[in-house]
DNA sequence: CTTGACCTTCCCATTATTGGAAGGATTATG
DNA sequence: CATAATCCTTCCAATAATGGGAAGGTCAAG
């Protein structure tokens, strides 16, 4: 099986297969006399492993660890779990960060008329920072009272 | 004000200020006789605009649009809103993708003992793909019945 | 034997940011 | 004033993962 077939069989592009080999994520493929890379079922299995891990958002570095754990049949499941939990934590940090952005943006967009007039709280906030929000119950202390 | 002070005042690193100038996001700074860049309050204002937009996850390209809209005092707020909504949509796609990953990973981690034994559903799934989940109510048709 | 579809390596681009080197300018201190 | 520390300048490189493409070799079908 040459690289194109291995690519189709694994869902990893030929480009990436060569790249993974180059950076040492996977071992160098066997070569034919004319230096074509050849792959066997086992290699394709590894490539699928890599693709699934990528689909789960693991970095190449983490996949290196996971591959080592996969091959080590005497690994402790706690070792695998540690990698997974660490990754989950990172993903959740990312989600929180992005959600904070959307929260702010939705709030702003919700207050933007979105019509032909130039007045726009979205660009206002980006330009001038968080607008003073009057959360004051008593208007005597609100921003409005400063006029 | 030279670049270091402008950096502190705006929260954008000197490196990035130079970069933004180089790619044309901001206009070239005035220079002293000894070619030090100098910045005035107005420039710092622009830099803050850029930083806030970055904090909201806008790409440099989008910020280019936003800056143009900001400067165009006859812009339609709908134009700003369009950029924002597009960005919100993209952020939500990202969130959904990452959440799907965490959902899967948490499920797997929840079934991993995390002890000294090698048996681990996490690495199992990465290696062999989605395990057959028996969602069948009638055991006659379940995977179990294939034994 | 030609043609088309593959393969090889090598280089470049992407996005936003950081790091560093080499050298000049400014500022502070002794 | 001399010198040292701290700035500034430009240029080059690296990051992470992927895609695009060129130039040239190989293979299989016709």
What are B30-64's pLDDT values in tens digits? 999 999 999 999 999 999 999 999 999 999 999 99
Cβ pair B52:A94 closer than 8 A: no
Cβ under 8 Å to B: A residues 55-84: 55-57, 66, 69-70, 73-78, 80-82, 84
CATH 1.10.10.60, applies to B1-58? no
- Residue ranges of the domains in chain A? 3-75, 111-146
User: Quick check: B119 contacting A, CB < 8 Å?
Assistant: yes
Record the tokens describing residue A75, joined without a space.
């690994």
Q: What is the pLDDT of residue A144?
A: 47
Q: Is B74 helix (H, G, I), strand (E, B) or coil?
A: coil
Gap between the Cα atoms of A109 and B40, Å rounded = 31
Name chain A contacts of B113, Cβ cutoff 8 Å: 77-78
Q: What is the C-alpha radius of gyration for chain B, rounded to an integer number of angstroms?
A: 26
* Bases of chain C within 7 A of a CB of the protein: 6-9, 15-19, 24-26
**Which nucleotide comes closest to A4 if you measure CA to C1'?**
C6
Contact present, A124 and A132 (Cβ < 8 Å): no
Q: How confident is the model at residue A129 (pLDDT cuts 50, 70, 90)?
A: confident
Q: What is the per-residue pLDDT across B78-135, written as a single tens digit (0 to 9) for each?
A: 999 999 999 999 999 999 999 999 999 999 999 999 999 999 999 999 999 887 765 5
The minimal CB distance from B74 to the residues A80, A99, A118 is found for A118
Q: How confident is the model at residue A77 (pLDDT cuts 50, 70, 90)?
A: very high
* Substitution target from A72, A99, A126, A130 for chain B, most B beta carbons within 10 A: A126
Gap between the Cα atoms of B126 and A56, Å rounded = 9
Give the CATH fold of the A3-75 domain.
Multidrug-efflux Transporter Regulator; Chain: A; Domain 2 (1.10.1660)
User: Quick check: A124 contacting B, CB < 8 Å?
Assistant: no
In degrees rounded to 5, what are phi and psi of residue A65?
A: -60, -45
Reported ipTM: the value is: 0.83
Cβ under 8 Å to B: A residues 88-107: 88, 91-92, 94-95, 98-99, 101-102, 104-106
Burial letters A96-131, b for 16+ CB under 10 A, else e? eebeebbebbeebbeebebeeeeebbbbbbbbeeee
């Amino acid at each position: 099986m040459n690289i194109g077939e291995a690519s189709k069989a694994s869902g990893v592009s030929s480009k990436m297969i060569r790249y993974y080999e180059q950076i040492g994520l996977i071992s160098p493929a066997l070569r034919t006399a004319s230096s074509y890379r050849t792959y066997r079922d086992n290699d394709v299995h590894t490539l699928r492993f890599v693709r699934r891990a990528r689909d789960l958002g693991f970095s190449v570095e983490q996949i290196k660890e996971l591959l080592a754990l996969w091959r080590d049949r005497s690994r402790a499941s706690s070792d695998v779990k540690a990698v997974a939990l660490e990754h989950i934590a990172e993903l959740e940090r990312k989600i929180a960060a992005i959600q904070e952005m959307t929260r702010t943006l939705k709030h702003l967009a919700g207050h933007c008329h979105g019509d032909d007039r130039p007045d726009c709280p979205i660009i206002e906030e980006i330009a001038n920072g968080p607008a003073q929000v009057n959360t004051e119950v008593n208007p005597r202390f609100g921003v409005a009272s400063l006029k």
